[in-house]
Chains A and B, each alone.
Chain A
Amino acid sequence: MKLIWLALVPALALSIDASAQKKSYTIGLVAKSQGNPVFQAARVGANDAAKEFGAKYGIEIRIDWRTPNEEDAQKQAEAIEQLAVSGADGIAVSCSDANKLTDAINSAVKSGVPVATFDSDAPASKRFVTFGVDDVQCGEQVLHELAKIMGGKGTVAILAGNQNAPNLQKRAQGVKNAAKKYPGIKIRDTYYHKETPQDAAAKVEQVMQANPDIDGWAMIGGWPLFTSNALKWQPGTVKCVSVDALPPELAYLRSGHVQLLLAQQVYEWGHRSVEHLINKIHLKKNPSSVKDVSPLIPVSKANVDEFEKNWQKWLPK
């Protein structure tokens, strides 16, 4: 018995010593709102990256998720300040209002906590990197794809969500910019709505009733597609291209109501942000460029089954 103890004690001491020496980092993750599945996927991505890079570099990475329930830039600023004061080593944030978050980001950076932005940037702040789509290009791509499907002619409505969101304003601008290249395409209007699937679906219905000549929808956010049977037209009669490809939206590709979804790399928002932060704080390596643009992934009827498999990994278990 004594012999076993004699063998166990040094082994335990060694293991305690090893874990004590293991470097540990806390990364704060501040998304726009809790309920939005795209940010849940970003959270899963960040947690996976923590495990992956933790094992790769022999370090411990903890993701501290501090996201307001509803979009609230002031609450985000408070979360960044709290994280910086309570010892986070790095912060990744998707900004609800860039103006309001700039000082909070700068003060975190001043106190030695590097900040990365994802999805929605704060360009005037001292964040060291931003990851996400280029919103103007995103809007342009939506219109180019839609124009291709519509054969270069028709009347198009733009569906945007919250009028306050700067990224959506840029995407809507992108759609309008690209439309100038197609003389046969007329933009009827940009329609805003409260960012819930029901409100979005109701808005599409109202607009279609008032404007039955609309034969194309450029959805720069895919809110109505989170409901089932939101699009009342006969499949194929109205063409539709939408940003994002979340699981409920894929059904509309299969039914033929939507011809193309352009998926943002929402899982990568978290994964890539953690990678950038670990490179910065552990490896002392800066990104090659401040802007890390992630391309949109086209999802059509042809590759929908293959794409859907990703969601088994991306959604919280």
Chain B
Amino acid sequence: MNFGISRIRSLVGIQEIGLILVVVLLGTVLTAFGGKVRMIEFHKNAAGENERVVVEKNKFLNARNLTQLAKDTSFVAIMAVGATFVIIAGGIDLSVGATYALASVLSALVFSKGENQVWRGVLVCLGAATLFGLLNGGMIVLLKVHPFIITLGTMAIYRGIAFVVTQGQSVGGFPESFRQFVRHETADGLSLVPLITMILVAVIGGIYLSRLAAGRRIYAVGGNELASRFSGIRVDRVKLSVFVIAGLTAGIAALLALGYYGSASSGDGQGYELNVIAAAVVGGASLSGGKGSALGALLGALIIQMISTGIVILNIDQNYSQIIIGAVVILAVLFDQLNNWLAKRRLAARAVNP
């Protein structure tokens, strides 16, 4: 039993517990003040026919709203897990939005060719996004240029290619089997595929970072690159791997969005790089490297989406959402700095009074 708890503790740190508390607090506030909503549901009557029934539910705490919240969170959260890998290694990836757009349009062009192109489309989406990550990482390592510059450049290049290949047209008409899989609804009309994918990505990312040696090396490189190099870690390989992972997660998010929304255009994902970085930072990743977690990234994305959804539920003017989210990002960093300062003080006190 203790073994199980210690295992969970190794995956869920103090920071994540704090974030979970913020999620619970936000959820409680929205449940208490959100009010009621009348919803249409289809119930089976005595004759076995679907009957339209109007039911009154809590505006926030109802299954449809929660799955909607999970779906809206999933695209950014999945990319934020990948971005967190990059940030932990002390890098930054500004090209995730453009990678998302280019992988989307390339696979959309394959998907739109017919029902028998599903697997090819999936491979193109994930393969292309991974390749773009590899290109980012490769250039950063070989040219020894700061990731900010390389990914700023590839952000424009990837989006430009997306524009050229589509001629600015939206590409739709995907295989029904693919769309039905991603949009699959339970008997209650809930779409769970985005939620399940998001959880899977966060769990795999979490295990990779906290349980595998490869994951620990990412923290080491981000914490102190020079020391890592001297201790025998192949720093370039680690750097390359984090950008590949960031590309892959952008591909997974793109695939999910393709199936859910059914089209792609070169304008997709504009500005998502900043949403993704904001989610990672709120989730506890430090832009100076060496800190962050996959679960934190998911929770960071969830908190930002809860604020955005909460603004709709509480009928607040949407213009306030940007102000609130901006303030939350700054507060998260301040809280992180306070935490670090307290930890240092505790260590210093222990050194004086062992």
Complex Cα spacing A269 to B266, Å: 27
Interface residue? B208 (CB, 8 A):
no
Closest residue of A by beta carbon distance from B38: A87
Find B312's partner among A66, A98, A102 (CB 8 Å cutoff). A66
Chain A 45-85 interface 0/1 with B at a Cβ cutoff of 8 Å (1 = within)? 00000000000000000101111011111100111011101
Instruction: Enumerate A105-135 residues with CB–CB distance to B below 8 Å.
Output: 111-112
Contact B261 A66, beta carbon cutoff 8 Å:
no
Contact A72 B261, beta carbon cutoff 8 Å:
no
Chain B 233-271 interface 0/1 with A at a Cβ cutoff of 8 Å (1 = within)? 000000000000000000000000100111101111111
B interface bracket (residues with beta carbon within 8 Å of A) = 35 or more
Q: Looking at the complex, which of A160-168, A174-182, A249-257, A259-267 is the stretch in contact with chain B? A: A160-168
Contacts of B309 in A (CB 8 A): 82
A88 to chain B, nearest CB (A): 9
Find B163's partner among A98, A163, A169 (CB 8 Å cutoff). A163
Contact B40 A111, beta carbon cutoff 8 Å:
yes
Contact A162 B313, beta carbon cutoff 8 Å:
no
Contacts of B6 in A (CB 8 A): none
Contact B312 A72, beta carbon cutoff 8 Å:
no
Contact A86 B313, beta carbon cutoff 8 Å:
yes
Interface residue? A97 (CB, 8 A):
yes
Interface residue? B68 (CB, 8 A):
yes
B77 to chain A, nearest CB (A): 14
Complex Cα spacing A104 to B266, Å: 20
Interface residue? A307 (CB, 8 A):
no
Find A162's partner among B59, B168, B318 (CB 8 Å cutoff). B168
Interface residue? A191 (CB, 8 A):
no
Instruction: Enumerate B213-239 residues with CB–CB distance to A below 8 Å.
Output: none
Contact A163 B167, beta carbon cutoff 8 Å:
yes
Interface residue? A100 (CB, 8 A):
yes
Contact A102 B265, beta carbon cutoff 8 Å:
no
* Chain B residues packing against A (C-beta within 8 Å): 37-40, 52, 59, 62, 64-65, 68, 72, 75, 163, 167-172, 183, 257, 260-263, 265-271, 309, 312-313, 315, 317-319, 322
8 contacts between A and B (CB under 8 A): A73-B261, A74-B268, A79-B312, A81-B72, A86-B37, A111-B40, A169-B168, A192-B168
